[in-house]
């Protein structure tokens, strides 16, 4: 599937690959357990002309939390140096098909980029179809000017989440695997408690993805309903460190129910704090 507002097809990109107003971005990022090096992968093979966006480099370096959103001027300088400027159409992909690309798209959108889409199926689909691959040292792009204005409403912090949970004004939906949400499996990052935010709901991002692609709109809506989520009420998405939460947000957007915000610090922040933690399944309704 593909949505014109969120996804573009490999056919669409192949026809426009050399267009001067389009920039392709490799936004690959992997969990430690996946044992892959996104920088090395990019250096070896990529979609022709693609630039690399590293969420562990373009971040708030003053925060102890991983890949938190940086200040607007930091983001603007970084992406401008990549050759990404105002008015360009940005196409983001990742090496798993659909994992970290939604986070990169969300970052660009939150800093004011108007036209940012995800490549449906990502690099795996592009390769499977025998489309052009660039190898060797990447080509440098001329620097451009990118105007970054942070949409604060799209980024939730721990206090926002605590207020939402205490007042039930917003739903908080956690994209982590069910075992971690219930507190039955240890967190991959050391020093974090197991469990979830009391009152939050659980929809593992993996339930929305099949073979590196987002499932159908009907399947997405059904998965949210099964998780106890009311699609007509505002939603904050969360996960381990703000990456897979963006998969939920992208899925919501494709069915016309965009989420309110992403909790940037996610469980890495909450689980290391003294805020309340619950275990067991979510209490729906």
- At residue 146, the 3 state secondary structure works out as coil
- Sort residue 84 into left (φ over 0), alpha (ψ -120 to 50) or beta: beta
Beta strands of the chain (E only): which ranges? 7-8, 22-26, 45-46, 51-52, 89-93, 116-119, 134-135, 155-156, 171-174, 201-202, 209-210, 213-214, 235-238, 261-263
- Answer yes or no: 239 catalytic: yes
Instruction: Give the separation between CA 103 and CA 238, rounded to whole angstroms.
Output: 12
DSSP designation for 253? H
Question: Among residues 113, 114, 140, which one has the least CA distance to residue 52?
Answer: 140
Instruction: Give the separation between CA 102 and CA 208, rounded to whole angstroms.
Output: 13
Of the candidates 172, 197, 239, 250, the residue annotated as catalytic is: 239
Contact 221, 207 (CB under 8 A): no
Instruction: Give the separation between CA 232 and CA 216, rounded to whole angstroms.
Output: 19
Instruction: Give the separation between CA 76 and CA 107, rounded to whole angstroms.
Output: 11
How far is CA 232 from each of CA 10, 49, 235, 255, rounded to the nearest angstrom? Answer: 32, 41, 9, 12
What six digits make up the tokens of 200?
């939050």
Residues in the chain: 285
Residues with catalytic function: 239
């Amino acid at each position: 599937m593909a949505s014109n507002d969120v996804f573009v097809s490999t056919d669409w990109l192949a026809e426009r690959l050399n267009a001067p107003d389009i920039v392709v971005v490799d936004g690959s990022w992997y969990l430690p357990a996946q044992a892959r090096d996104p920088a090395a992968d990019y250096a070896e093979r990529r979609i022709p002309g693609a630039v690399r966006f590293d969420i562990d480099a373009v971040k708030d370096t003053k925060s102890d939390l991983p890949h938190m959103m940086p200040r607007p001027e930091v983001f603007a300088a970084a992406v401008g140096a990549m050759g990404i400027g105002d008015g360009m159409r940005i196409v983001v992909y990742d090496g798993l098909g659909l994992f970290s690309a939604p986070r990169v798209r969300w970052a660009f959108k939150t800093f004011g980029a108007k036209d940012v889409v995800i490549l449906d199926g990502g690099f795996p689909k592009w390769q499977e179809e025998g489309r052009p691959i660039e190898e060797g040292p990447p080509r440098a792009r001329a620097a451009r000017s990118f105007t970054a204005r942070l949409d604060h409403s799209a980024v939730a912090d721990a206090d926002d989440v605590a207020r939402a949970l205490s007042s039930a004004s917003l739903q908080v939906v956690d994209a982590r695997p069910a075992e971690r949400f219930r507190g039955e499996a240890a967190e991959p990052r050391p020093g974090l408690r197991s469990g979830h935010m009391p009152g939050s709901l659980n929809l593992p991002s993996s339930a929305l993805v099949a073979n590196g692609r987002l499932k159908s709109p009907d399947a997405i809506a059904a998965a949210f309903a099964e998780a106890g989520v009311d699609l007509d009420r505002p939603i904050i998405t969360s996960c381990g460190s703000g990456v897979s939460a963006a998969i939920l947000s992208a899925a919501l957007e494709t069915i016309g129910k965009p989420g309110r915000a992403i909790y940037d610090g996610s469980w890495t922040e909450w689980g290391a704090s003294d805020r309340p933690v619950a275990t067991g399944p979510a209490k729906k309704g």
